[in-house]
Structure 1
Amino acid sequence: MRRASAAAALSLAVLAPVAAPASATAPPVQTPAHAAPAAATSGPLLIGHRGAAGTAPENTVSAFEEARSSHADFFELDVQLSADGVPFIFHDDVPARTTNVAQVFPGRENDPITSFTWAELQRLETGSHFSGRFAGEKIPHFDDAAKVAGNKIGVFVEIKSPQNSPGLEKVVADSLRNNPAWNRLVRCGKIEVLGFDAASNRKFARLAPEVPLQQLMDTVPDAATLAQIATYADHFGTDYRLLDAAGVQRVKAAGLGMGVYTVDSTAAYDSVVALGVDRVTGDFPVQFSRHARGQKAFPQNTGVRVAGAVNDVPGNDLQPETGEHVILQNTTRHPVDVSGYRVRDTKDNTLTVGRGYVLAPGARLNVYTGPGTNRPGAYYNGAATEALDNEGDSVALWSSHGTLQDTFAN
């Protein structure tokens, strides 16, 4: 194929094993509810989603640095263009969710993020929404990611919402070709460009045929569509929740590499590895790198796990007493105080356990989003808006001391 040489360059990275760390912490016992760690053998590429969006504010230098230290192969980012043509790293179309725009530019919370100049973007703070520990974090320039990557990790560059950033494909192609830091990564097979917009991907393929390219779609299409994609792309990526063995087979039969997003539980990781995918993108590269190397993914776990979640209940998800909820379980032989434990999803929705909740060995606690009467076995946050995506969501459990305990996806 026309893009065969680019695909061959990336294949060197696919075949290169991830180096094992010099030392490893002995893990606590895994519970039956969680799959055993994958064998420490070569497997799919591991890509940190928006850096390491599960453990640091997404698309920030801190998230990229966390991914770089994780033994992941790549981190992924989203690039857009400011109103004055500067490439910057940001996911959403508007700044409301992840910045302090309401304080800095009141009334512009839902304006297009691309309507802000670079100078205006630099006035926004994008770390505190995740944790006070990241207060002061700024929206990065596109080139900041190359500086963080250095020669330690590769970068997946998603061209985000190209309809909002006319000319973005050329800006990215020119940066990858002319900026020495980016170009070094390209020459080492450590860059891949990706996007959902097929017209944008075709445009980028014409501008930079030497750069591996990935077409993203929500589901795997039919063989004829995949054959068309293979004329301009090297790889295909899709939502893991909707993937089956037949889909993997169709993608590979078209000569495309197979990728999945956004994998945020060890059970989901093991299932997609078993399907034979070539790359796995997830929010927790540190934890999944450990899991892939046969180590404990959550070494600071206190014994409390996310045993399940009920995202979509009969009736209103926020109905009193019986609405949507996450289920925590104490898997140890001793009581665990879960007061202040937090459940956080990928959109920054957070459920918190109130004071006085001590789980006996084996006991479960339902943590509800909406209103209800607090009692043993149930705590209600009384929120006015839904937190859990009815079609499936990923959540992370954090202790009251801010240590990651577990992740869960359905």
Structure 2
Amino acid sequence: MRHRIAVLSTVLGALCGVLALAPPADRTRHAPAGHVTVFGHRGAPAYAPENTLRSVRRAAGLGIDWVENDVQRTRDGALVVIHDTTLARTTDVEQRYPGRSPWAVGSFSLAEIKTLDAGGWFAPGFRGERVPTLQEYLALLDRTGQSLLLELKQPELYPGIETQTLDALGRAGWLDGPHVARRLIVQSFSAPALRTTHRLRPAVRTGFLGSPPVSQLKQYAVFADEINSEQRAVTSTYVEAVHHLKGPHWPRMRVNAWTVDSPAAATGLVKLGVDGIITNRPDVIEKATRRRMLRPL
């Protein structure tokens, strides 16, 4: 008997040691079935200037696991995180470079863009915030543990940006197994850009921004895992049609709705069966959708 107890104690001790060495649970994987994934649209732009590192940190502070951003290319080939194809709305470029209208992102060098204030337009306390490079953005996400919904913004303006973006993701370690499986989705309004992305890196999950006709959804399922639609285009019939198809990776295609800032609209979309909601107010929508899922549908 004493021998058996000793053996059991040894086994339990070894098991505890293994559990202690095991990595913590991954909080960045998609939400379990029955709950929607909430994506911070450009970070947490209701609280900090969009697409900036401060916006990402604010989303992290709110407990938001997924953030969405936009990538474009400078004149000298650097990848930067900014939404508009012009710098005018979210920087002080008009004051610093008054003679270079329409201030297109692709007509400025990285060094020039890095001199711009990307936060003062939002609130005085954010003055001095800069437009981040994609590498800076990825490095911050690795520190916060957040996941990324990365939009190729108007890729037709930047030939080859699909390859360049994948190369940058690879250099940053974002094309390894854990990142690709749980922490990265590439999306675009451009079906050709997504086809190229899927051809170059079939393991990377992709989402098409828009609402293709139901009759064409099967064509998109060849290269896209998600259909990410403007919220007014989402109906229960459309969600069912998307869910009926299998994309390259998941058992069924997913539907994410954007840009949803109203709790009432969010709970209505949950009732329609969406898998994710992209929002400027991720904390508010997270709370609203969790409340909805606690009640029977």
When the two structures are superposed, what TM-score results if normalisation uses the length of structure 2?
0.82
Confirm or deny that 1:163 pairs with 2:179.
no
Confirm or deny that 1:13 pairs with 2:10.
no
Match of 1:292 in 2: 289
Could you tell me how far 1:13 is from its partner in structure 2?
2.2
Match of 2:65 in 1: 73
- Give the conservation status (yes or no) of the 8 Å contact 1:222–1:250: no
1:94–1:185 Cα change, 3 Å: farther
* Alignment partners' CA distance in 2, 1:130 and 1:111: 19
* Alignment partners' CA distance in 2, 1:15 and 1:111: 40
Match of 2:147 in 1: 154
Q: Give the counterpart of 1:124 among 113, 116, 121.
A: 116
- Percent identity, please: 31
* Alignment partners' CA distance in 1, 2:32 and 2:75: 40
The 5-angstrom pairing of residues 335-346 of structure 1 reads: none
Q: Give the counterpart of 1:191 among 184, 197, 200.
A: 184
* Alignment partners' CA distance in 2, 1:293 and 1:248: 20
Confirm or deny that 1:87 pairs with 2:79.
yes
The 5-angstrom pairing of residues 4-403 of structure 1 reads: 13-16=29-32, 43-150=35-142, 152-180=145-173, 183=176, 186-217=179-210, 220-255=211-246, 256-294=253-291
After superposition, give the CA deviation of every residue in 1:325-373 in whole Å (9 maximum; x if it has no partner).
Answer: xxxxxxxxxxxxxxxxxxxxxxxxxxxxxxxxxxxxxxxxxxxxxxxxx
Could you tell me how far 1:183 is from its partner in structure 2?
4.0
- Give the conservation status (yes or no) of the 8 Å contact 1:49–1:76: yes
What amino acid does structure 2 have at the position aligned with 1:189?
Answer: R
RMSD of aligned alpha carbons: 2.1
When the two structures are superposed, what TM-score results if normalisation uses the length of structure 1?
0.60
After superposition, give the CA deviation of every residue in 1:253-283 in whole Å (9 maximum; x if it has no partner).
Answer: 2232111100011111111111110111000
1:116–1:183 Cα change, 3 Å: farther
* Alignment partners' CA distance in 2, 1:66 and 1:287: 14
What amino acid does structure 2 have at the position aligned with 1:247?
Answer: Y
Could you tell me how far 1:185 is from its partner in structure 2?
5.7
Gaps of 5+ in 2: 1-27, 247-252, 293-297
* Alignment partners' CA distance in 2, 1:72 and 1:263: 15
* Alignment partners' CA distance in 2, 1:80 and 1:146: 14
How many residues are matched? 259
Could you tell me how far 1:16 is from its partner in structure 2?
4.5
- Give the conservation status (yes or no) of the 8 Å contact 1:71–1:289: no
What amino acid does structure 1 have at the position aligned with 2:156?
Answer: Q
- Give the conservation status (yes or no) of the 8 Å contact 2:231–2:258: yes
Could you tell me how far 1:166 is from its partner in structure 2?
1.5
Could you tell me how far 1:293 is from its partner in structure 2?
4.1
Match of 1:376 in 2: none
Q: Please state whether the residue corresponding to 1:14 is helix, strand or coil.
A: coil
Could you tell me how far 1:107 is from its partner in structure 2?
2.1
After superposition, give the CA deviation of every residue in 1:94-134 in whole Å (9 maximum; x if it has no partner).
Answer: 11111101111112241321111101110111111111111
- Give the conservation status (yes or no) of the 8 Å contact 1:176–1:183: no
Could you tell me how far 1:286 is from its partner in structure 2?
2.2
* Alignment partners' CA distance in 1, 2:201 and 2:280: 28
Q: Please state whether the residue corresponding to 2:38 is helix, strand or coil.
A: strand
Gaps of 5+ in 1: 1-11, 18-41, 296-410
- Give the conservation status (yes or no) of the 8 Å contact 2:267–2:288: no
* Alignment partners' CA distance in 2, 1:241 and 1:222: 14
Q: Please state whether the residue corresponding to 1:127 is helix, strand or coil.
A: coil
Q: Which has the higher strand share?
A: 1
Could you tell me how far 1:177 is from its partner in structure 2?
2.2
